[in-house]
Amino acid sequence: MSASDQRRGSGRGGGASGWHAGGGRARRRLPRVLAAALVLTAGAGAAAAAGCGGPSLESRAAGSASPGAGGGRGSLVIGSAGFTESAVLAQLYAKLLAAAGYRTSVRTLQDRELYEPALEQGRIDVVPEYAATFADFLGAKVNGPHARPVASPDLRATVTALTRLASARGLRVLPAGKAVDQNAFAVRKDFARRHHLTTLSDLGAAKIGITLAAGDECVERPFCEPGLKSVYGIDITGIDPKGVGTPLAKQAVKDGTDQMALTTTTDATLGQYGLVTLADDKHLQNADYVLPVVNAAHAGAPEVAAALGRLTAVLTTADLAALDEQVDAERRKPADAAAGYLRSKGLTRSRGSGGGNSGPGSSGGQRPRK
């Protein structure tokens, strides 16, 4: 599924940052995520390996990312959360790091409550993350599910908070770039033209009753119905529980059953339904920019940051949406989509450059919601 279906857990963070309301992504329902995270112990690595169905992470050598270990710079395991966008990002990371001299592999651990402990323990070395989501995940893990969220729409403040929380757990947060995967709200193009809508503020000012196709949790999540009402003054008359960015949700808007759908900024299929997103001009959504997080002991070398920084410097939200579409709509493998993108940007040269041997389940699937 696309970025609109899972990114990150089955609920985005009950009151924490950038939640994707409704079904399918494992990124965020913080109370549930926290509970799962807190019960994981050092044995989580075995569970994670079992979950991905691939080679056991226990078999990797400790400290194997040290430059020069066994030839080249050593080996790195890149973690993927098992949804399309995460799988593509993991392959991009793997291929760039391979081009920088590391032996790389990709392992899928499905949920943040599995891969985050594995990252701390050095069972995986690098993961693609989302700044606001991960900041609030760690904040809740440290301070409890009812702690005040640390993420905000301010990227700098969010990354500062994330860096502080991650550093205490032996993790290093690398810089964010331009690519962001946030909640977005889409309406029909003709509806937008008829009512002169380009922003959510325009919709609030129009005083039009709106039925919103979203997850059923949207009614209580601050970045969905409550935020649309309180920040923008939008008249939400009902929630049609069709999920986040699902074909059913977008079709309902296309057909006129609903007037707006909750999706994400990397949903590349909106044009197929004649939909367009309205700009979040008052910054309701938090700063969920893509960034790498690494195990500081295993992957904290400057060479790792430099290699991944080459991608961060060029990857945009539109690029990410197009990559998601290649996998979900065109049925390309994440590794092939990643390789083509890197060649197109001049980041790798040959068709064979890059490692990224992925274990089973490293593409597609339900996204852990933010």
- Please list the residue range(s) of the chain that carry CATH number 3.40.190.10: 30-180+288-358
Q: Which CATH class is domain 183-278?
A: alpha beta
Beta-bridged to residue 129, according to DSSP, are 291
> Residues 6 or more apart from 82 whose CB is under 8 A from it?
6, 52, 108, 109, 110, 111, 361, 362, 365, 366, 367, 368
From residue 43, alpha-carbon distances to 50, 90, 114 in Å are: 11, 24, 10
Tell me how crowded residue 329 is: count the other CB atoms within 10 A of its CB: 12
Rounded CA-CA distance 4/360 in Å is 22
CB neighbour burial string for 243-273, b if at least 16 within 10 angstroms, e if fewer: bbbbbebbebbbeeebbbbbbbbbbbbbeeb
Pick among 3.50.50.60, 3.40.930.10, 3.40.50.980, 3.40.190.10: CATH of 30-180+288-358: 3.40.190.10
pLDDT of residue 354: 45
pLDDT of residue 221: 87
- Which residues of the chain have a pLDDT value below 50? 1-71, 352-354, 358-369
pLDDT of residue 351: 53
- Please list the residue range(s) of the chain that carry CATH number 3.40.190.120: 183-278
Residue type, 111: D
pLDDT tens digits, 193-226: 999 999 999 999 999 999 999 998 899 989 999 9
Closest CA to 334 of 3, 24, 86: 86
Strands (E), the chain: 75-80, 103-108, 126-130, 171-173, 183-188, 209-214, 235-241, 260-264, 275-278, 290-295, 357-358
Residue 156 parent element (H or E): helix 155-167
pLDDT of residue 147: 87
> Residues 6 or more apart from 357 whose CB is under 8 A from it?
104, 105, 106
